[in-house]
Amino acid sequence: MLRVGSPQLSTPLFEVRASAGKGQGGFATRDIHVGEQILTERPLARWRSTDGDASELVKIIGAMATPDRQDFFALSQAEQHGNTKSELGIWLSNAYPTTAGEGGVYSLACRLNHNCRPNAHQHWNDRTGMQTVMALREILAGEEVFVAYIGGDADGTRVARQSQLQQKFSFTCRCPQCEMSGAALEQSETRQRRIAAIVALLQAKPSNAVALVQERVDLMEAERMPAVWGKSGALLALMSLPRDTKAVTRKLAWRLATRARDYCQIALGGDADETIAFESFAANPAFAKLNRQSGQRCSSSALSAPRQRPRQVQQQVQVQQEEVQRADQNLDRLAAQRAVAVQALADAAAEEAEAAARESGARQRASDAVGACSGDASALLTLARDGRRGSLWTFASGTFDNLRISYSDVEYAAARLADGVRRTLLDDTVDAALLSYLRRAPYAATWTDATDAGAASTVTRRAASIGAAGCRALRGAIDARRDATTDTVDHFAQHTLHLSLESLRGLVGAAAVEALEEMPMALLEQRRDDAARRARGEAAALREETQTRATHDPQQGESSAPAASGGPGTTPGATTGGAGRLEAALSRARAAAATARRAAADGLTLQMYIRRYSTDTRPWLGFHTDRSAVTINVALAADAAHEGGRLHAILGGEHAIVERDEGEATVHGDDVMHAVSSMRHGVRYSLVMLYFLGE
């Protein structure tokens, strides 16, 4: 189940900006005090991932308001979930738990980086329906705000922490706790092992649970761990106390309750369920009675304590002295943390200066790469934008401030500009050398092997699939509002507007949408039938070849009878080429049939958007194949209305240009290698509908 809503949040006490070695991070905009609320934020989306249906996540993310969807796709994705961003990959890399198996993703809370000893604590508040971030320590203005991605009852030794972070989030933590060495590290590891042992002992609900929890909290304080991580153990220990507990144990329990209440007040806020629960334990009349005997106050309604015996007074003085000692230690720790923070800010400034120097060098290398290209290649790499000339770097970063572009991206784009590709994209003409280049190109190797370089690839055309009024409405929609995203083909900026089926019906009419939705299955069934027909043709050709060989060599023919396999099969004695072609045709026929069956059984998932091409937005698109099983592309303006921007494709093993009229749809599968030539004048509009096989 997925729930989506525009995030409502308090004014955050941090700003998101570059964090050295961590990408983006949150930095305090002013001094933040212990227990101060840093952020409250509603999730962009909530999803019960245990439902196991990621297609529902894809659908709802696609239906988000444009700003929310942009915030979602701006979040980082762990390497283990793929190099190309996806809805599920972003979700698995960023989601925090909410309630009852659900998770939530946030535009700001998900920007906070990890530290094994964080200065802030994030949690879900079920009463407010918001993710809340609270300050655990004093945080100076300009200091980075950290939360912990792991914690609680998990094994806290360094090896265990690093293993969890690498497995779940694909990074190695370099926080001060993880950089410890020598005696300090050994002492820390000893405390962590004892904490893990206490957690294991508490599972059996021992009679000394309260004392064990007290020891655990003391160890967590010594380790500078957020003591609020022990709240569950403390709550269970208090709830399991029998009515006839000895007075000494009940007194320890009251101390634990008040201590836990204070920790939760700092880390969770006064309205959190845990804070309220511990407050009720601290105000329990039985605890209050013990408290009055010890001369302490447990609530605002506690009575004044009677005169105490000297021993009781001595115990109280000792407790107060211990509290003063802990306060002094906290002050010393804060002073040390301030010194560390000042040094960290200086180190960060130095790292930023080094990063700027590296970026400057990369820009120069990119400029050199452009200058080293031939004249035609330089003309493609040097694109016009806003009346100025600049490299792809300038084009991509200038359009949407896209910092993902790098020198390697420029090299990659330049590597694609072989003669055939360059003439195709720049001159907008058919070139005989193109297919030869694509057969050798590393990025087209999978397509070449799977389709025999597009030998059987086709495009189905449907004239006037959308009327003139509908095309005009869709053009007006993207001219008014566009999404700022990067393209999955080359990571450069693209100008698109995502749509839902409901909004498409409102713009072009229900009848047109119904006709478009019938096209995917029709294409898959046609591909299945065509593949089967080609396999039968290869089988017939192989039999004819075998018979011809038998006529010229009867002795060989007797040993070359077709195999009785109940269907087309390889034939001993036949040429390896014929048998190989038959096996390849059978393999493609089986794959086409399986795809059609799966689509009919599980359905297809739709992603849809309008794309706008022009010389100053997205001027061209390199050769690629789509990841979708079926692609419908509707021309929202006739090719004659602009110069350049025509569809180039490998069809039937040959390079072809597909000319389209307004409203005409082209329908093709994932086997078609295609591109859009460079725009020279005007604007090209397309409605793109990508149909993926359901999970």
Domain containing residue 115: CATH number: 2.170.270.10
In the block, tokens 């497995």 appear at 167
Same domain, 70 and 112: yes
Q: What are phi and psi of 278, to 5 degrees?
A: -70, -30
Same domain, 608 and 584: no
- Is the residue at 267 inside a domain? no
End-to-end CA distance of the chain: 16
Same domain, 597 and 607: no
- Is the residue at 204 inside a domain? no
- For every residue of 486-534, DSSP letters joined together read E-TTT--EEEEEE--HHHHHHHH-HHHHHHHHHHHHHHHHHHHHHHHHH
Residues 542, 579: Cα–Cα separation, whole Å: 7
Tell me the C-alpha to C-alpha distance, in Å, between residue 514 and each of 184, 501, 583. 69, 10, 38
Residues 34, 561: Cα–Cα separation, whole Å: 87
**At which of 552, 572, 601 does a domain end?**
601
- Is the residue at 386 inside a domain? no
Residues 268, 132: Cα–Cα separation, whole Å: 7
Q: Please, are residues 515 and 465 in contact by the beta-carbon 8 Å criterion? A: yes
Same domain, 551 and 441: no
**At which of 114, 146, 179 does a domain end?**
179
The upper half-sphere exposure of residue 559, i.e. CA atoms within 13 Å in the direction of its Cβ, equals: 5
Residues 690, 604: Cα–Cα separation, whole Å: 9
Residues 98, 105: Cα–Cα separation, whole Å: 10
Same domain, 148 and 104: yes
Same domain, 61 and 172: yes
Range of the domain at 536: 528-601
Q: Which of 482, 504, 481 is nearest to 495 (CA)?
A: 482
Q: What is the pLDDT of residue 319?
A: 66
Residues 277, 238: Cα–Cα separation, whole Å: 10
List of E strands, 313-450: 383-385, 388-390
Q: Please, are residues 472 and 595 in contact by the beta-carbon 8 Å criterion? A: no
Same domain, 158 and 50: yes
Residues 219, 205: Cα–Cα separation, whole Å: 20
Same domain, 512 and 570: no
Q: What is the mean pLDDT of each run of 10 residues along the chain (695 residues)?
A: 44 89 90 91 83 77 88 87 86 84 88 92 87 90 91 75 85 88 89 86 79 83 79 67 60 76 82 78 55 38 33 57 67 76 77 68 54 46 34 40 44 53 78 82 82 90 94 91 66 76 92 94 92 87 81 53 37 52 84 88 90 73 88 95 92 92 95 88 93 80
Secondary structure class of 405 (helix, strand, coil):
coil
Structure tokens at 611: 């794309």
Q: What is the pLDDT of residue 253?
A: 75
Q: What is the CATH number of the domain that holds 672?
A: 2.60.120.620
- Sort 339 into a burial class: Cβ within 10 Å, 0-12 / 13-18 / 19+: exposed
Structure tokens at 693: 């096989």
Q: What is the pLDDT of residue 79?
A: 81
Q: What is the pLDDT of residue 328?
A: 65
Same domain, 683 and 575: no
Structure tokens at 575: 């040429």
Q: Please, are residues 207 and 190 in contact by the beta-carbon 8 Å criterion? A: no
- For every residue of 406-426, DSSP letters joined together read -HHHHHHHHHT--HHHHHHHH
Count of domains observed in the chain: 3
> What region, left, alpha or beta, does residue 170 occupy, with left being phi > 0 and alpha being psi -120 to 50 degrees?
left
Same domain, 450 and 512: yes
Residues 113, 25: Cα–Cα separation, whole Å: 6
Q: What is the pLDDT of residue 317?
A: 55
Same domain, 645 and 679: yes
Q: Please, are residues 618 and 612 in contact by the beta-carbon 8 Å criterion? A: yes
**At which of 157, 179, 201 does a domain end?**
179
Q: Please, are residues 589 and 630 in contact by the beta-carbon 8 Å criterion? A: no
Secondary structure class of 295 (helix, strand, coil):
coil
Same domain, 546 and 470: no
- Is the residue at 665 inside a domain? yes
Q: What is the pLDDT of residue 569?
A: 37
Residues 40, 133: Cα–Cα separation, whole Å: 6
Total-model pTM = 0.44
Bridge-based pairing state of the strands 144-147 and 383-385: unpaired
Secondary structure class of 288 (helix, strand, coil):
helix
